Amino acid sequence: MPDTGETTTVRWADPLEAIERCYDLGWTDGLPVAPPTQQRVAQFLACAGREASEEVGQLPERRRRVTAGKVAANAVMAGCLPEHFPVVLAAAEAMLDPVFNLVGPSSSLGGAAILVIVNGPVVQQLNINCRANLFGPGNRANATIGRAVRLILMNACAAIPGLFDRSVIGHPGKYSYCIAEAETETHWTPLHVDRGFAPGQSAVTVFAAEGPRQVRATGHPEAILYSIADVASSLGTSMSTSGSVGDSAAGLRQGQIVVTIAGNSGLWRDWSKDDVRRYLHQRIRRSVADLKTARVLPGPVAAGDNERYVSLVPQPEDILLVFAGGEEANMSSVIPSWGPKVGSTAVTKEVRLP
Amino acid sequence: MPEQPKEYVLVNPTTQAEAANFNGAPRLLTLAGARIGLIDDSKRNADVLLQEVAEVLRTRYEIGEVRWHRKPSASRPADPEAMKELSEKCDAIVVAVGD
């Protein structure tokens, strides 16, 4: 047996008892897990060509060092298949990148989940769902890869509810939150290519995210985008509040945003992703009058405040646009970031196969 | 007949905090004349709280020079350069979390 890291020996007579032992050990997210047996963990490590002791990243604020063996054990527990493990590893590597600043979204009262967006050939190879029921249940790869990320957060990064995880309400994406882009069904540039990777590479993007807000609009690209911009401009998202702004000139938590657009690529034939981002960036904003009324900005509403606007997203590139969802164009989604861009920024890492 | 329990070896999925040994700075015997650093986490009112703390320390304990460092975001760790400078130029540091 190759080295798999620190082990615990337990006894059980039947599968139900095995599941209960994992509850007793405090290793679950509340749902039953697959016991991380040494054989299964070794199989995962072999599939990715990694050693158990190999460091994936660190969380210095909690004095934690996360190894490939720990990531594998959590992926096993989540119900992943060995071939899903390289995707989970890339997600773990991305969220432990200092740019992502995991300590923020994994502890904050904002209650973020880590949204995982998969791109590249691995989407089809592993049958990761990018179409109907995008955020919904029923597909093993999405369900287990997303769940593995949560188990890694809880077990290997100490983001335990009530301890370091201080979410006020959190959201259901904290159980599992993994999607892919339907990049073979659109003329749009895939997200990972926008972010500097080659189309033939597979990559995982992680994003500290609020829950998805469904946007129902149809018929014409502009009607859909106008509605998306309206939803993204609402008061009460992280982006339209002002706590923990630091030294931002805008006085708001301007942040990145994920937008998913479903349907048929044909509807968008006259639009590039850049066109969509520019259109949205100009319209994702709120009047100074509204922001003052909601006490986001200080002071009484003054003459002209109804005509003065503050942008909620810093740059058009901060709109992460993903073509995904069912074949009907009726439903898009808006996913605001957990915090200001200075607090956490999306990170993309390549899925490395041996 | 019920099955007999068997032993299984599980890989522990959890981590423990790994803190390197360190020697804490010696405790101050008096605050009189002490150089005090203040780290503002940039959350709302952290500056108000720290200004008051500095004022109390000045009037009640007659502290010396005060140095101020403001983080760009509450969520980000303090800049290591700023930490190094504070540790060299201060006798004690006060950190405030506003909100």
The whole model's pTM is what? 0.94
What mean pLDDT do residues B48-73 have?
92
Q: How many domains would you assign to chain A?
A: 2
pLDDT at residue B60, as a whole number: 96
Determine contact: A246 vs chain B, CB below 8 A. Answer: yes
Mean pLDDT per 10-residue interval, chain A, length 354 residues: 91 93 97 98 97 96 96 98 98 97 94 97 98 96 98 98 96 98 97 97 98 94 97 95 72 92 95 98 97 95 97 96 94 95 94 92
A328: left (phi over 0), alpha (psi -120 to 50) or beta: beta
Q: Which residues pair with B94 in a beta bridge?
A: B38
Q: How many CA atoms lie within 13 A of A109 on its CB side?
A: 5
Q: Do B76 and A343 lie within an 8 Å CB cutoff?
A: yes
pLDDT at residue B78, as a whole number: 82
**A111, A243: one domain:** no
Q: How many Cβ pairs closer than 8 A exist between chain A and B?
A: 126
Which residue out of A10, A100, A248 would a mutagenesis test of the B interface target, given it has the greatest number of B Cβ atoms within 10 Å? A10
- With contacts defined as CB-CB under 8 Å, which chain B residues touch A27? 13-14
**A235, A321: one domain:** yes
The interface residues of chain B toward chain A in range 2-61, judged by CB-CB distance below 8 A, are 2-15, 17-19, 42-44
Contact by Cβ (8 Å): A178, A146 = yes
Give phi and psi for A265, each to the nearest 5: -60, -30
pLDDT at residue A246, as a whole number: 64
- With contacts defined as CB-CB under 8 Å, which chain B residues touch A241? none
Determine contact: B80 vs chain A, CB below 8 A. Answer: no
**A233, A246: one domain:** yes
pLDDT at residue B99, as a whole number: 67
In this structure, what DSSP letter does residue A37 have? B
**A40, A126: one domain:** yes
**A191, A236: one domain:** no
Instruction: Say whether B29 sits in a helix, a strand or coil.
Output: coil
**A285, A137: one domain:** no
CB-based contacts of A123: which residues, under 8 Å, 6+ apart?
A130, A180, A181, A183, A202
Query: CA of A100 to nearest chain B CA: how many angstroms apart?
Result: 10
Determine contact: A245 vs chain B, CB below 8 A. Answer: yes
Q: Which of A265, A278, A252, A237 is nearest to A324 (CA)?
A: A265
**A108, A129: one domain:** yes
pLDDT at residue B35, as a whole number: 96
**A150, A203: one domain:** yes
Q: Do B77 and A61 lie within an 8 Å CB cutoff?
A: yes
**A303, A222: one domain:** yes
- With contacts defined as CB-CB under 8 Å, which chain A residues touch B5? 11-13, 17
**A314, A240: one domain:** yes
Q: Do B9 and A37 lie within an 8 Å CB cutoff?
A: yes
Q: Do A246 and B44 lie within an 8 Å CB cutoff?
A: no
**A201, A318: one domain:** no
pLDDT at residue A137, as a whole number: 95
**A6, A152: one domain:** yes
State which residues form the domain around A250: 214-336
